Structure 1
Amino acid sequence: MDIRETVGSFRDSTPLPGLDDAWHWSPAPGLDFAGALSADRKRLLQLSARDSYDEGLATAVLQFARLHEDELFSGNPYLGALGGFTPPDGYSFDTVVALRPEVHNHYRFEMPDLTPYVTLAFPAYACEFSGKEDLTEAETRYRMVRLNHFGRQPQPYLKMRYINTKTRGRSEGTDRGFAEPEVLFRELRDMEGGYESIVEFENRHGTVWRVMWYDGWHIADWTTQSGEPQGIGLDELLDFSRARLTE
């Protein structure tokens, strides 16, 4: 496939200033795309933005992805997350995340022949991805994190499970699943008074903590399932949890 010719055929496609073999196009108001050829000219590195496009940020992301594509995917064939990214002034992103076609399946309807040649790349935060996601997990994180909103705040990587003996609420299954941080903080608060209630949560480093309720909150490092529970107050527990999710 001739990627230059294909991208050049997109409506309103124009060269992206400041980067060779790169383009910008906008198929609808508020929806912007930018793309650049990979270093070997065999793939299209692409991003999109919803009501938040910034040319300088888009250029910086695509340039970083072009320079570091091999490194991005050196440990994971589906999803790569690499730190060391410096965004333009006004942004606090510190990472670029890249997604292979198996994850994003972009253009599957309108131009399926192009899909295998497209790698998506977005500005991100280090706390959002582990870099160890399998294909199913990568697809889930791709759907969960609002990657095309350039003005967003971090959405930390979190897996959790819980059993609340007071509300009788519980997560599905016996494994920890992806969740929004607000769900964790809510369940930590709601377990008060629920004897033998538990909440387990895991951050991007794979470290796990278990919180239990019996005459107060108790927490243990549960990575090896042999941690010694320690009493902790709610405010301290919430602060501790927030810190662990963003480290």
Structure 2
Amino acid sequence: MNFRETVAGFRDAAELDGLDNAWRWSPAPGIDFAGALSDDGRRLIQTSSRDSYRDDLAVATLRFAREREEELFARNPHLGSAAGFAAPDGAHFDAVAGAAPAVHRFYHVELPELTPLVRVVFPAYVCEFSGDETLEESITRYRMLQVTRWERGPVPFLKMRFANTRTLGRSTNEGRGLTDLAVLERELQLMDDAPGSFVEFENRHAHVWRVEWHGAWYIAEWDTQEGTPRQISLDALLAFAPSCLTE
């Protein structure tokens, strides 16, 4: 495929200053795309933004992704990431991530022949990926991160399962499922006065903790299910949980 001719046909397409073989286009007001040829010229590396586009961040993200594309997808071919990204002033991202066609599905309706040739990349945070996400988890995670919001803060990788004897709430998935910190914090608080309740949570390093209620909160390291429970206050627990997710 001639990517230059293809991109030239997009709405408001123009050369992207600061990076060779790169372009910017806008399919609709407030939505901005930027893309660059891969080093071997066989793929379009593309990023997208909604109401938060910055030329400098687009150029930095595409340059980093082009230079480290192999590393980006070395561990996870579905949703990869690489640390060491130096974001421009005013942005706080410390990584760049990339989604494969099966995850992003760009152009699958209007230009399906282009879809398998596009890798979508975006500025991200190291704490957001385990590197072991399945294809299904990668799709879920990609949607959770709201990657077109370039002003966003980190959404740390988190898996959880729980059961509450008072609210009767419980996980519906097998094993621990992807969720966010707000859900974890809410379920920890709802364990109050709920004997037999538990919450298990896992960070990106596959470290797991289990919290149970026995007249108070007790927490144990659960990687091997041999951790010794220790009593912990709710305030300490709510401070400990997010710190585990950003380590």
The alpha carbon displacement at 1:173 in A equals 3.4
Structure 2 equivalent of residue 73 of structure 1: 73
Deviations 1:65-117 (A, max 9, x none): 00000111111211111100000001110000001111111100110000010
TM-score (norm 2): 0.98
Name the SS of the counterpart of 2:70 in structure 1.
helix
Deviations 1:30-76 (A, max 9, x none): 10000000010100000100000011000000000000001111112
Displaced runs of 4 or more, over 6 A: none
Matched length: 247
Structure 2 equivalent of residue 200 of structure 1: 200
Structure 2 equivalent of residue 17 of structure 1: 17
Deviations 1:193-235 (A, max 9, x none): 1001000001111111000000100000101111110100000
Name the SS of the counterpart of 1:33 in structure 2.
strand
Checking the alignment, whether the CA contact within 8 Å between 1:207 and 1:223 is kept in structure 2 is yes
Alignment of 1:31-50 (within 5 A): 31-50=31-50
Alignment of 1:37-186 (within 5 A): 37-186=37-186
* Structure 2: 5+ residue stretches without partners: none
TM-score (norm 1): 0.98
Checking the alignment, whether the CA contact within 8 Å between 1:81 and 1:130 is kept in structure 2 is no
Of residues 173-182 and 55-64 in structure 1, the stretch that sits farther from structure 2 once superposed is 173-182
Of residues 21-30 and 73-82 in structure 1, the stretch that sits farther from structure 2 once superposed is 73-82
Instruction: Write the letter of the residue equivalent to 1:108.
Output: H
The alpha carbon displacement at 1:174 in A equals 3.6
Of residues 108-117 and 71-80 in structure 1, the stretch that sits farther from structure 2 once superposed is 71-80
* Alignment RMSD (CA, Å): 0.8
* Percent of paired sites with the same residue: 55
- Partner Cα distance (1:4, 1:40) in 2: 14
Of residues 202-211 and 70-79 in structure 1, the stretch that sits farther from structure 2 once superposed is 70-79
Name the SS of the counterpart of 2:68 in structure 1.
helix
* Structure 1: 5+ residue stretches without partners: none
Deviations 1:162-192 (A, max 9, x none): 1001111111134110112100000000101
Instruction: Write the letter of the residue equivalent to 2:33.
Output: F
Structure 2 equivalent of residue 8 of structure 1: 8
- Partner Cα distance (1:150, 1:130) in 2: 21
